[in-house]
């Protein structure tokens, strides 16, 4: 609360408190008695530097603790080494798993991941598409959930190199991007067939999301449901009579709520194919509460093979996408685009496995 200001006192070099700028090439150069450029050459392993000079420079670097400033490098070279990963939310185990896979794989390639989450909704996703408020990273890995297909289809080209992951993107993608997906429909078909082959006939799919405003959120739900229906048809059942249980979202709690509703609609259900593992975990908790035995009375299948799956009660049969392969493929494509490749959009399918655990054990009968 010191109101008065000393207007005329000439402050001799106001001692800048903390923001003591980190050492620069200039500082190193001064100590090593060489030009700035030579220091730069040493840092960048330019071969034509005498060993003696190199040693002197390296010593100076160590002495002042020099580290290159990413901002200046980026300004000069146009590349930041940053990759933006835009996911719905880390509170879904599936996404935190793939986030880790991407971080590891990026670190392995000398790149750093900037994480952005879009659980806020379509507004947040649109921000991602438009390239954020500031030009920051070299490219984006983007898993949209709520994005209107038409919106994406309208774009002529993405604002920066982009690789989409997830589901339900339009056939016709803008220029400047690629798309890596997982065969949801096929995986769901395979999972459902497993139950049908066991003789179970009163199956339900849990995980459809009612579409609001024409938005199709979690459209992986749609694909997985389609695979479910196709499997029914392939086994001679009538898909139009199938039980499709809607849920509010894809968290554990939604699975629990959905299970309550389902048990009311179809008390004799003997197999539930869930949209993901989190839903399945909620389902298991409610089946237990209602005294249904798994797998004796009801079989349950999840999707994602989250780290939880082997430890649920009983351990959960689930579709396991190859997250490592996903990360590798995506980064290959993205870095190629960052490097200047500008061919037409490419679509790549990555593999999955059906991991069979006790929640779908064969009936002793």
Partner DNA sequence: TGGGATATCTGCAACGTTGTAGAAACGCTC
Partner DNA sequence: GAGCGTTTCTACAACGTTGCAGATATCCCA
Residues 48-67 that bind its own copies (CB under 8 A): 65, 67
9: contact with DNA by CB under 7 A: no
CA distance 157 to 159: 6
x/- map, 317-346, its own copies, by CB under 8 A: --------------------x--xxx----
Contacting its own copies (CB under 8 A), which of 82, 237, 348, 356?
A: 82
3-state secondary structure of 346: coil
Q: What are phi and psi of 80, to 5 degrees?
A: -105, -15
Q: What token pair was written down for 174?
A: 């803008």
Spatial neighbors of 79 by CB under 8 A, at least 6 apart, are 73, 138, 338
104: contact with its own copies by CB under 8 A: yes
Contacting its own copies (CB under 8 A), which of 5, 7, 50, 134?
A: 134
Please give the span between the terminal C-alpha atoms of the chain, in angstroms, as a whole number. Answer: 84
Instruction: Single out the residue of 361, 359, 171 nearest to residue 280, CA to CA.
Output: 359
Nearest distance from C-beta of residue 280 to DNA, angstroms: 48
Name the CA radius of gyration of the chain, rounded.
27
Q: What token pair was written down for 97?
A: 């798993």
77: contact with DNA by CB under 7 A: yes
Owner of token pair 């050459």: 41
Q: Choose the stretch contacting DNA; rule: CB under 7 A; options: 74-82, 124-132, 172-180, 203-211.
A: 74-82
Specify the DSSP class assigned to residue 309: G
Output 102 or 228, the one with its CB closest to its own copies: 102
213: contact with DNA by CB under 7 A: no
Residues 148-207 that bind its own copies (CB under 8 A): 159, 176
Q: How do beta strands 157-165 and 347-350 pair?
A: unpaired
Q: What token pair was written down for 38?
A: 């030579």
Spatial neighbors of 362 by CB under 8 A, at least 6 apart, are 198
Inter-residue contact 224 to 186 (CB < 8 Å): no
Contacting its own copies (CB under 8 A), which of 256, 316, 326, 333?
A: 256
Whole-Å CA distances, 122 to 145, 237, 280, 362: 8, 38, 26, 43
115: contact with its own copies by CB under 8 A: yes
Q: Choose the stretch contacting DNA; rule: CB under 7 A; options: 21-29, 124-132, 160-168, 187-195.
A: 21-29
Q: What token pair was written down for 129?
A: 């598409």
25: contact with DNA by CB under 7 A: yes
Residues 267-286 that bind its own copies (CB under 8 A): 281-282, 284-285
CA distance 16 to 20: 7
For residue 99, the partner it binds in DNA, its own copies, none, with Cβ less than 5 to 8 A by kind, is its own copies
Contacting DNA (CB under 7 A), which of 13, 44, 172, 240?
A: 44
Contacting its own copies (CB under 8 A), which of 126, 132, 233, 322?
A: 132
What angle, rounded to 10 degrees, do the helices at 220-234 and 184-197 form? 40
The site for its own copies (CB under 8 A) is made up of: 17-19, 21-22, 65, 67-75, 78, 80-82, 89-91, 93, 96-97, 99-100, 103-104, 107, 112-117, 131-136, 159, 176, 251-253, 256, 281-282, 284-285, 288, 307-308, 310-313, 315, 337, 340-342
The site for DNA (CB under 7 A) is made up of: 21, 24-26, 34-38, 40-41, 43-44, 47-50, 52-54, 66, 68-69, 72-73, 75-77
């Amino acid at each position: 609360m010191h109101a008065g200001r000393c207007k005329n006192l000439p402050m001799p070099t106001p001692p800048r408190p903390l923001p003591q700028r980190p050492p620069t090439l200039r500082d190193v150069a001064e100590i090593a008695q060489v030009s700035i450029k030579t220091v730069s050459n040493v840092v960048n392993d330019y071969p034509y530097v005498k060993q003696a000079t190199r040693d002197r420079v390296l010593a100076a670097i160590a002495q002042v603790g020099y580290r290159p400033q990413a901002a200046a490098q980026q300004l000069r070279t146009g590349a930041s080494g940053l990759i933006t990963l835009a996911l719905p939310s880390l509170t879904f185990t599936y996404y935190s798993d793939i986030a880790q896979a991407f971080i590891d794989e990026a670190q392995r390639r000398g790149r750093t991941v900037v994480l952005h989450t879009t659980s806020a909704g379509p507004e947040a996703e649109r921000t991602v598409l438009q390239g954020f408020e500031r030009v920051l990273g070299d490219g984006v890995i983007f898993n949209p959930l709520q994005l209107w297909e038409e919106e994406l289809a309208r774009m002529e080209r993405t604002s920066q190199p982009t690789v989409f992951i997830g589901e339900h993107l339009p056939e016709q993608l803008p220029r400047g991007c690629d798309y890596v997906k997982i065969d949801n429909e096929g995986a769901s078909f395979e999972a459902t067939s497993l139950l049908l082959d066991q003789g179970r006939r009163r199956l339900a799919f849990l995980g459809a999301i009612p579409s609001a405003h024409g938005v199709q959120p979690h459209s992986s739900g749609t694909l997985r449901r389609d695979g479910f229906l196709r499997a029914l048809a392939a086994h001679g059942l009538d898909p139009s009579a199938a039980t499709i249980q809607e849920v509010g979202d894809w968290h554990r709690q939604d699975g629990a709520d959905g299970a309550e509703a389902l048990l009311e609609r179809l008390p004799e259900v003997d197999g539930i194919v869930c949209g993901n593992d989190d839903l399945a975990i909620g389902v298991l908790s409610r089946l237990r509460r209602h005294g249904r035995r798994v797998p004796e009375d009801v079989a349950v299948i999840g999707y994602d093979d989250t780290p939880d799956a082997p430890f649920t009660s009983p351990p959960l049969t689930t579709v396991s996408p190859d997250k490592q392969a996903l990360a590798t493929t995506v980064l290959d494509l993205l870095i190629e685009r960052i490097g200047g490749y500008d061919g037409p959009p490419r679509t790549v399918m990555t593999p999955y496995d059906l991991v069979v655990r006790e929640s779908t054990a064969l009936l002793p009968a």
